[in-house]
Structure 1
């Protein structure tokens, strides 16, 4: 899930990677989608619209939505439903296409965003006590005019950036179906067997995820989370008879 656009405004949207087929209910054969057809985009658009709006109403009825400032009047049920009414008549955008250079390109593209928030340092042009300037792409334009520079007051830049800091514990990347965490390794191995596909390096990494962590030099503890080598960064005196070391993971 992404919450930002190129200009850092609030632009929530979801990227989905979906295989062109799946396992049969009995798990004994692979069922491919029809050649030249994956899904009906217009049907998917309207289905998503209905489910999304119904989900909002359910959250409202359960008292799980909060409204503040200019939206405070939406606490009234009539006002809330009046806001949603025209949204059910508009066409919602669902964009689906076959990857140009294959699935590897798509994964490489999304990988650049999975652990980044809103903007990278490479897009920053200037930063002072008063303002921040950064490069952005205006997708409404074509050609060279698409690339632009935006200058925002420092407070406005911080406000836009903080729009995309998700609540603690919020899961931004989710896996379903074949890729659900509970059975991913087994399901993917079965799919490769049915498709006579070679065992990939990614599958090997998944299957060895629970293996013992790599060995580290004597006396150096391994990180309890990633199994990497720890590096001594300092020690301090406490109520102990000898200094206690402070360790951190070596990410080099």
Structure 2
């Protein structure tokens, strides 16, 4: 069933004016995404006839854009991906672990998405594998499924990686399974310290190799000394790693994955109103608990579109990794 308000409605109504106002400042990927969402499941993309052989009733179904950022095109992709993963699940508890970049690093990531998001994946995975392999902790080789999200609930830029990790792994000699404790996988403070060191060391290496670009208010970070000064506070800051107790079973893992793997910055179901005052949508305010956590936010339409486009990933970038 079609949602009463869709991102496509907002783009079709306000997209032309937004593109005109920001001409020369939108990337090709952003322009393609806007066009894809505006034309998704319309006659512009063609269609096909669906007919019932029993009663003879028929209808025209318009084709989907299949853009991975489109809120309407993720359901089928998620179902296909989950069906393949179901056979891979082990009969053990699975932990949910989240690695988040501090704000000072997130601004660097935004201007260098491909390089820094890739580094986020690699540093987080190496952190987990290294600490898990340490005999002082688990002493085993673990498996990981990791998913990149770049947004907070209000669509602000908030890059983080969600991981699903089995509660145990294979012994170093490959002869047996080593289980973690029932409600404890790895020490989060130890994970945070190693993640911080690995990430910052390699981020500086990217800068030294000339693989980072800066513009606008961040242009001064091209200078190495300015770049190191910018990073100085986060070297002392605690990098918080979130780890949640195991899921109830494989079905719960699949239910979780279905919510996270093919999610986009905002789903159509969260949209409440679109009028001359802007776009109103539901979001979670994590400063509150319980029912008070669900709040409404209204953004000017241009700001809503801007925030949505913050999360366009580079072409060919894999946001789900194993």
Q: CA deviation at 1:35?
A: 5.4
Alignment of 1:118-133 (within 5 A): 118-128=265-275, 131-133=278-280
Moved more, 18-27 or 81-90: 18-27
Q: CA deviation at 1:86?
A: 0.8
**Residue of structure 2 equivalent to 1:69:** 216
Higher RCO, Cα 8 Å, sep 6+: 2
Alignment of 1:11-30 (within 5 A): 11-30=158-177
Query: Does 1:101 find its partner at 2:242?
Result: no
Structure 1 segments unaligned to the other structure (5+ residues) = 176-252
Alignment of 1:18-57 (within 5 A): 18-34=165-181, 37-57=184-204
Structure 2 segments unaligned to the other structure (5+ residues) = 1-147
Which of 126, 140, 146 pairs up with 2:293?
146
Output one character per residue of 1:172-211: Cα deviation in whole Å (capped at 9) or x when no partner.
0100xxxxxxxxxxxxxxxxxxxxxxxxxxxxxxxxxxxx
Q: Which has the larger radius of gyration?
A: 1
SS of aligned partner of 2:163: coil
Partners in 1 of 2:290 and 2:167 — Cα distance?
Answer: 33
Partners in 2 of 1:124 and 1:45 — Cα distance?
Answer: 35
Partners in 1 of 2:301 and 2:164 — Cα distance?
Answer: 36
Which of 133, 157, 160 pairs up with 1:10?
157
Alignment root-mean-square deviation, CA: 1.6
TM-score between the two structures when normalised by the length of structure 2:
0.52
Query: Does 1:159 find its partner at 2:318?
Result: no
Q: CA deviation at 1:105?
A: 1.8
Q: CA deviation at 1:165?
A: 1.2
How many residues align structurally? 175
Partners in 2 of 1:107 and 1:78 — Cα distance?
Answer: 46
| Structure with the largest fraction of helix | 2
Partners in 1 of 2:306 and 2:294 — Cα distance?
Answer: 23
Alignment of 1:229-240 (within 5 A): none
Asked if the contact 1:99–1:106 (Cα under 8 Å) also holds between the matched residues in 2, the reply is no
Q: CA deviation at 1:29?
A: 1.9
